[in-house]
Amino acid sequence: MRRMIAALTGATVAALIAPTLVAVTPASAKTTPAATASAADPVSALKRHFRTHRGVKLTENTKVVGEGKKHRAIFTRRSGVLEFGRTGLVASDLTTKFNLPAEDGELKGLFTPSRTISLKGVSYTSGGIFAESMPEGKKWLRTRGDTAYLVSAVQQIISTVEPATLRATLTRTTAKRPGGTWDGTRTTVHSGTITLAELFKVSPAVRAMLVKKPTGRSATLPVTWKIYVGSDQLVRRVVSSYTESTRGLNSTELSYVNDTRYTGWGTKVTIKAPPAGQVVEFDELIGDTSPPEDPIGEIFKG
């Protein structure tokens, strides 16, 4: 229960919408690693921005595409800032909004805006599912021991602010072409495919999201991606997509298309925890010590 609710505070609600999904792997999906030389420069450029109190701004939307690509709608929007330290990402301040009507009912809180500040192994969430349950004078719910959720089942699954993830993804480049101008910089768009198992192996964010290693058909789930790299070798845009199908209830296929933009590389950032007087502890609010559950992992079970 504890992990499930912590995941919900990070806007990972896909398990409630499509509780049991299995991968749809096109027969034509193949991963053909390219030469690794082109991947080194973007990774080095990223690491050069690992400086104390420096960061980058992030905006993102996730589209859910129905079967046959006839039904397409933006499901979530996310924006905020990431803060780096000398070794990489150290903090994030992200607001998530759902592009759904705010209707009455038990799930209403899931689809209201939420803001999550994550730093030093602690996350603080305001709004969302717990907004109406907070004690008087408290605005933030604190959860400990959970990695900041930079991705979820309905958000960007390729975290290119992780050097290992950026390197592994770019080494699977199968095509390159001019990518237009983003953040005032001309870009080259690299495109290719990487599997969920490969992402789990290299990405701390994906491991935090899934908890357990994907197996069966989910391990080979192909994630198609495009990474727009500027002339300064910094990533300006990442577009990824993958397709899932529901098991048992029907044979509907859903594709998730995640589009992330990075701007303002080198922005001065100092993310701080909310005032202590406005914070309530997770255990104090929930009062539940049952074993952890893993709703996100259920989504990708084979």
Amino acid at 231: S
37-58 per-position pLDDT tens digit: 344 489 999 999 999 999 999 9
DSSP 251-296: --EEEEEEEEEEEEEEEE----PPPGGGEEEHHHHH---PPP--HH
Is the separation of the CB atoms in 14 and 153 below 8 Å? yes
Tokens of 23: 């991968």
252-265 per-position pLDDT tens digit: 677 889 999 999 99
Q: Domain of 111?
A: 2-299
Q: What confidence score (pLDDT) does residue 158 get?
A: 94
Q: What is the CATH number of the domain that holds 143?
A: 2.50.20.20
Residue 163's H or E segment, with its range, is: helix 163-170
Is the separation of the CB atoms in 152 and 15 below 8 Å? no
DSSP 102: -
* pLDDT digits (tens), the chain, 302 positions: 344 334 444 443 333 333 333 344 443 444 344 333 344 489 999 999 999 999 999 999 988 887 655 666 778 899 999 999 999 999 999 999 887 655 555 556 667 888 999 998 888 999 887 888 888 889 999 987 544 445 455 678 999 999 999 999 999 999 999 999 999 999 999 999 999 999 999 998 888 888 789 888 889 999 999 999 999 999 999 999 998 765 544 556 778 899 999 999 999 999 999 999 999 987 777 654 444 454 444 545 55
How far does the chain reach from its first CA to its final CA, in angstroms?
Answer: 22
CA–CA separation, 272 vs 293, rounded Å?
29
Report how many domains make up the chain.
1
